[in-house]
Amino acid sequence: MTLKPSPAAALERLVVPKVDHVDLVTVKLPFVAPFGTSVYTWTHKEALLMRLESAGVTAWSECVSDPDPFYFYETNGTARHIIKDFLLPLVEPGIALGELEERFRHVRGHGMAKATIENGLLNLIALQKGQPLHELMGRPAKRIMSGISIGLKGSQAELLAAVERAMAKKYGRVKMKIKKGQDVEWVRAVRERFPDLRLMVDANGDYSLSDTALLKQLDAFDLMMVEQPLSYSDIFEHAALQKELKTAICLDESIHSLADAAAAIALGACRIINIKQGRVGGLMESMRIARFCADRGVGVWSGGMDETGIGRAVNIHLQTAEGFSLPGDTSETNIYFDEDIADPPVVLGPDGFIDIPGGPGLGVRVVPERILKRAIRWERLC
């Protein structure tokens, strides 16, 4: 049997360049509308950005953590601490990115902090080589499937109006958030109005196994999947629930690594995985998980963290990787921000697909005046 090379091989071999300056910049952008989930409602995006400067080239990356630990244990504050005090000292010019990743394993968890550095270095290397990020990944350009995540709404009429707008834009699928008390009847209302819609739901861990009978009612609505119905850290109970449900379970919060994905698949805890590149520690681990899932017939898509244009561009490039078979949470910028910090904004083509931003690196241009306007903290680390 010949072993296939690692899907991230092209990135593992890249050499860490000498970096002259590293800054951490926190920006705060108002959302166009509040984004509600079963765990919290966010009204602003507070993003921790990293700025790398090397021989006159400037590269940005975005940490996908929130200012709070409501979706995930990492926060902008913990990421700043881990990057500054533990990860950045491990970065050494001349070593391979694969070796840097090995060094980072000494720090347990904190994938979002790790991904910030990895993505920043990848963007920097791509800019220095004059190559788009997907080309650096060894992946051909392709148009990306779009998808939209609709937060909890105050009324079913508001929800139906939001779904209608998404359908008019030809989004590849619609995800609606659910929570206890705002589930079966709300899904029924959407399904009755839009019988052919590619629809899925996301509970962000709001239910327990004692809600199995209720969750089984979702089987009536021909959903693509139900995302993270049970606890944010659970795999085992999802396996028990998947046996009871006709609808595929998708795991999001529970998957932090390739090992978690392997455990979930072996246990039968899910038939689909949502890869958030930050949550699993970066692009290289994301590519490994995606290939692993594809080899086992498990669907994969790229989740979103309501990123600014920097993180959004990373997710778009990632979706050129092998294994991304389903529409992700990649939607138009104007759903979130009136004015993003990077140009061009993400827009859907008339067919609902998204073009990869052209040009070297991420292909987006961070606008310095907008960073200055939105910055609430700026720290030079070296």
Binding site for Mg ion (CB under 5 A): 202, 227, 252
Are the CB atoms for 28 and 46 separated by under 8 Å?
A: yes
Pick the closer one to Mg ion by CB: 16 or 190.
Answer: 190
Cα(247)–Cα(227) distance, integer angstroms: 10
- Would the CA dihedral through 106, 274, 305, 138 be positive or negative? positive
- 177 classed as catalytic: yes
| Amino acid code (one letter) for 60 | W
Nearer CB in complex with Mg ion: 46/202: 202
CA atoms of 215 and 63, how far apart (whole Å): 33
Q: Closest approach of Cβ 338 to Mg ion, in Å? A: 25
- Is there a catalytic annotation at residue 180? no
Nearer to Mg ion, 74 or 227 (CB): 227
**Closest separation in Å from C-beta 329 to Mg ion:** 8
CB of 37 to Mg ion, least distance (A): 8
Alpha carbon distance 353, 332 (integer Å) = 10
DSSP secondary-structure letter at 86? I
In Å, how far are 157, 158, 166, 176 from 162, measured between CA atoms? 9, 6, 6, 10
Strand partners, 229: none
Per the residue annotation, which of 114, 153, 177, 179 is the catalytic one?
Answer: 177
Short-list 10, 12, 18, CA closest to 101: 12
How many other C-beta atoms are found inside a 10 Å radius of the C-beta of residue 134? 21
**Closest CA relative to residue 154, chosen from 176, 182, 180:** 182
Please, what is the minimum distance in Å from the beta carbon of residue 204 to Mg ion?
A: 6
Q: Which is nearer to Mg ion, 60 or 207 (CB)?
A: 207
Tell me which residue has its CB nearest to Mg ion: 252
Q: What angle do CA 316, 61, 38 make, to 5 degrees?
A: 65
Upper half-sphere CA count for residue 382 (Cβ side, 13 Å): 14
**Least CB distance to Mg ion at residue 274 (A):** 6
Q: Given the residues 153, 175, 179, 276, select the one marked as catalytic.
A: 276
Nearer to Mg ion, 54 or 65 (CB): 65
Within 8 A by CB and 6+ apart from 24, the residues are 48, 49, 50, 51, 80, 83, 84, 377, 378, 379, 381
At its nearest, how many Å lie between Mg ion and the CB of residue 170?
A: 23
How far is it, in rounded angstroms, from Cα 112 to Cα 77? 12
**Residue 229 vs 361, nearer CB to Mg ion:** 229
Q: How many residues does the chain have?
A: 382
Residues designated as active site: 177, 276
